[in-house]
Amino acid sequence: MPLRILVVEDEMTIALLMEDMLTDMGHEVAGLAMRLPQALALAETVEADLAILDVNLDGRMSFPVADILRRRGVPFIFATGYGSAGIDAPYLDVKVIKKPFLTDDLAVAIRTVA
């Protein structure tokens, strides 16, 4: 089933790669944010079935975005180069995919939470 997915990623090349991966899987990118203020605004308003959040957005943590999504009932996945070690305690139950990841890794993560 195709999903509408919010992508929060501060590196343009990775964001575009994720967009391609998601499109190839048949999903739609509901929004793309590269900085925390934009991500916070989108998290409040976007109609999404799922979100993928880079943990570190240009030196600022994306956990406030995760809080908004949780409040709205939108499931999310963290994407980080640090793995679970970079995740704060309130989010240890959230699925984490470690960068760099392959399309198959992303697909499995999406199936796990969607």
Question: 43-92: per-residue pLDDT in tens?
Answer: 999 999 999 999 999 999 999 999 999 999 999 999 998 777 778 889 99
Q: Look up the domain containing 79 and give its range.
A: 4-113
Q: How many domains does the chain have?
A: 1
Which pLDDT tens digit goes with each residue over 27-56? 999 999 999 999 999 999 999 999 999 999
What CATH number does the domain containing 56 carry? 3.40.50.2300
Strands of 58-112 (E only): list them.
Answer: 60-61, 76-80, 96-98
**Crossing angle between the packed helical segments 36-45 and 63-72, to the nearest 10 degrees:** 0
CA distances from 113 to 12, 36, 57, 69 (A): 25, 23, 22, 14
CA count, 13 A, side-chain hemisphere, 22: 24
Residue 100 has pLDDT above 80, yes or no: yes
Integer Cα distance of 105 and 63 in angstroms: 22
Centre a 10 Å sphere on the Cβ of residue 26 and count the other Cβ atoms it contains.
Answer: 9
- Residue 81 is predicted with a pLDDT of 86
- The structure tokens listed for 87 are 């995740």
